Structure 1
Amino acid sequence: MMTSDARYNLIPLLAALLVLAGLPSASNAQNRDNLRISGYVQGNPVRIAAELPEPLGDETWMEYRFQNRLNVRWDAASDLTFYWQMRTRMFAGDLVRDIPGYADGIDHDDGLMSLSWLIFDQNDWLLHYIPDRLYAEWDTADWNIRVGRQRVNWGVNMITNPNDIFNIYSFYDFDYPERPGSDAVRLQRYLGFDSRLELAVSPARDFERSIAAALYSFHTRGYDIQLISGYYRERFAMGAGWAGDYRGAGIKGETMFYADADETNFIASASVDYMFDNRMFLVAELLYNAEGGREDFQLMAEELTPDNPSFSKYQITSQVTYPIHPLVDGTLAVIYYPDEEAFFVSPSVSWSVITDLDFHVLGQFFTGSDDSAFANAGNLITAQLKYNF
């Protein structure tokens, strides 16, 4: 059995192998016309300070993450394309060693087929692989059909998306820009220049956890409107979304209503975004979640669901991005939870070092009263170096 020092000596080696595995080989340097390969490799240390349940207690943890994303696209015919996009990630450090079940939380796949693979699981590091896109697409002038693991993107807002009933994402997930997918069949029929009809079905291993819905989208009086109705995990679901422009400002909104034999829930979000002359970009959003809220929130440990997409009943969010320099952007996101008397603050800076190489620093900080669900939420700081190929 290896000692702790020996295991940590393997981390740089595994990280190097992880990077090399993601880089295109010489034979793939120039992709064929019908085969395209892209992706990135990145590494980021994460420092987390949180108060976790006993026996862990109030401590500070360090985690080291290395990730390779590989995107493969094959145009089999003029109207038929296959996609395979995957994540291979290595986690090392205190969280893997100290938190019971941490590897099980990583090695998790809610899809119809479990494609998650925990390649290595050691005392203080693990290596994990999972594809989040694996589908075939048939596309013609009036029809688009996708079958397989994909992202069914019905959201309109830039912060919170109640309309994304198939694969909602978390605003707090700081290293997953691609956002999750779902195992589904999706049919789109274009009815004209500005209208379409969609039908999507995402079956689950447990049938009651399946999702099926239809969307009708059209344009009227300067606004794009969408109407949604369907079945969400034993609940009836219906909603709407809209997007338009008012004097140069983007106006967007989404609503969803859920009902079953026992309870109902209504969710609504509205946002405005605006680009100023100095290229500063501002987004402000108000969210209402009638049955929302949690008794306790733990950073990096909570999953959102489409029928309960927030940690409080009310949520007010603002995010501003400003180009400090042509190669440097600064962003500040603030969320206020009025019913919890709590705040979330996330500053970040992105620097385009050279072509295809980016550096990013981000913090996530919660503050709230002792009675707040966020009292023990925790804070984190991370730095990320990312190479795109």
Structure 2
Amino acid sequence: MSAVVKGHYGAWASLALLMAPCTQADEQLLGAGYLKSYGLWQDAVAPVSAEQWQWQNSLRLMLDYFPGARWSLQLHYELQPVYRDKPTPSVADGSPFSTLNNSDNRYRIDDIQNDDDREEDHWLLLHNLDRLNLRYSTEHGDLTVGRQVVSFGSARFINPTDIFVPFALQTLNQEYRVGIDAIRYQAALGDFAQLDVGAVIGENAEKANSGAFLRGRDNWRGKDVQGVLIALDEAWLVGGGVETALGDFGVWLETAFVDAEPAHYWRHSIGSDYALDARWVLMLEYHYNGAGAGQPEDYAGLLRLQPYQRAGVYLLGQHYLIPALNWQASPLLNVTASGFFNLQDDSCFISLAAERSWSENLYSDVGVYWSAGDSLEPDPASATLQFGSEFGTYPVSLYASLRWYF
């Protein structure tokens, strides 16, 4: 299978190479990466998907080049061969049936063009040029140009201020956030204070696909606080967050208001964590999603709206409770469990996973995604399928993985 690199993205590479200074005596080249393999089984969800098996693989190569004390060039490339016993385009389209960490070119000037996902193909090959950026560092701050991570937030599970391609719940490989194209300056204002300003340049460098952001953060009387302002073409966001400790409890609050004409909505996350002892940590978060709907029959219409297309919203309801538990069973074995409960339609999404370390570079995982709720239901009036609940459409999934780092 082939991949074609389009012209605009080649410009990023050319710019990075032209701006990089000449080789110096103190230059350094660092390489790393990983190989991951996931075996996945998904149950049928009538009437839209059959039971299926998948074999997902990922090779990530990472290079960091330091020509001198102030300059650095970063490159990450990921190749994902995927085998499915029942070919279906939904494996890579971000639907509830997809567990892949897909690149999304809405906030990329241009991108590698993957082959079409045809229904008759059992094999799918995905390419992702996930990082390509040049950084210039001084004692006052860092200027980064190119493909990089831009993420914000104080909450642990759902971040109202984090709108640039967040992970979906069912994504298996969540180790690296998807890179987007941006020009960014992070200024150090003190020991803990930082000003972060930048422009995100989206598909074809069009104004409709681009945006700008400004974030300030500091530590005030032992509390980590931050404020965020984001401007998109037809929307803007203002928000912030705080993280602190109340006795033995860690506490966080994050909130954002979005004006996306004609929609205006708030999103909030508030939560706490508590170490029961040296091995057990309990977390609980409440999330309010003002962009969502109160009734399942209104869910389908949300997916066409700006918050779900451009502003990083993916939950369909309004009120959620998210408990989580982490158990360090031994120095080599860690077990985590979490649940997303939609408090209005009585559906839930449960995740249980165990990680085993076999050596410094070799790990394995086993896990299950389990959901409960009403599935898709036929609507006689429109002759279409309607949501019976949010998480009732998610298939039960079992997986096992092996990860090797180099």
* Aligned equivalent of 2:237: 237
Query: Match of 2:106, SS?
Result: coil
Distance in 2 between the 1:332 and 1:266 partners?
28
Specify the code of the residue in structure 1 equivalent to 2:402. L
1:82 aligns with 2:73: yes
Query: Match of 1:110, SS?
Result: helix
Identify if the C-alpha distance between structure 1 residues 232 and 312 changes in structure 2 by more than 3 Å, giving closer, same or farther.
Answer: same
Confirm or deny: 8 A CA contact 2:339 2:348 kept in the other structure. yes
Distance in 1 between the 2:107 and 2:184 partners?
15
The unaligned stretches of length 5 or more in structure 1 are 1-31, 298-302
Distance in 1 between the 2:342 and 2:249 partners?
25
Aligned residues: 348
Confirm or deny: 8 A CA contact 2:347 2:372 kept in the other structure. yes
State the TM-score, normalizing by the size of structure 2.
0.79
Specify the code of the residue in structure 2 equivalent to 1:346. S
1:115 aligns with 2:111: yes
Map residues 166-205 of structure 1 onto 2, 5 A cutoff: 166-204=164-202, 205=204
What is the deviation of 1:291?
A: 1.9
What is the deviation of 1:342?
A: 0.8
Distance in 2 between the 1:221 and 1:138 partners?
32
* Aligned equivalent of 2:222: 222
1:275 aligns with 2:275: yes
Identify if the C-alpha distance between structure 1 residues 52 and 312 changes in structure 2 by more than 3 Å, giving closer, same or farther.
Answer: same
Provide the identity percentage. 22
* Aligned equivalent of 1:93: 84
Distance in 2 between the 1:376 and 1:326 partners?
37
Q: Give CA deviations for 1:296-330 in whole Å, capped at 9, x if unaligned.
A: 69xxxxx7864524232111111111012221111
Q: Give CA deviations for 1:323-371 in whole Å, capped at 9, x if unaligned.
A: 1222111111111110121111111111112231111001111101353
State the TM-score, normalizing by the size of structure 1.
0.83
What is the deviation of 1:135?
A: 0.8
* Aligned equivalent of 1:385: 402
1:338 aligns with 2:343: yes
What is the deviation of 1:232?
A: 2.5
The RMSD of aligned alpha carbons is 2.4
What is the deviation of 1:90?
A: 0.4
The unaligned stretches of length 5 or more in structure 2 are 1-25, 95-101, 302-307, 376-387
Distance in 2 between the 1:386 and 1:314 partners?
36
What is the deviation of 1:236?
A: 1.9
* Aligned equivalent of 1:355: 360
Distance in 2 between the 1:200 and 1:44 partners?
36
Confirm or deny: 8 A CA contact 2:153 2:160 kept in the other structure. yes
- Which of the two has greater strand per residue? 1
* Aligned equivalent of 1:289: 289
What is the deviation of 1:69?
A: 1.0
Q: Give CA deviations for 1:124-152 in whole Å, capped at 9, x if unaligned.
A: 10222111111111111111111111111
What is the deviation of 1:239?
A: 0.6
Specify the code of the residue in structure 2 equivalent to 1:91. V
Confirm or deny: 8 A CA contact 1:118 1:126 kept in the other structure. no
Query: Match of 2:187, SS?
Result: strand
Specify the code of the residue in structure 2 equivalent to 1:131. L
What is the deviation of 1:170?
A: 2.4
Identify if the C-alpha distance between structure 1 residues 315 and 306 changes in structure 2 by more than 3 Å, giving closer, same or farther.
Answer: farther
* Aligned equivalent of 1:13: none
Confirm or deny: 8 A CA contact 2:167 2:174 kept in the other structure. no
Distance in 1 between the 2:218 and 2:28 partners?
34
1:325 aligns with 2:330: yes
Identify if the C-alpha distance between structure 1 residues 118 and 145 changes in structure 2 by more than 3 Å, giving closer, same or farther.
Answer: same
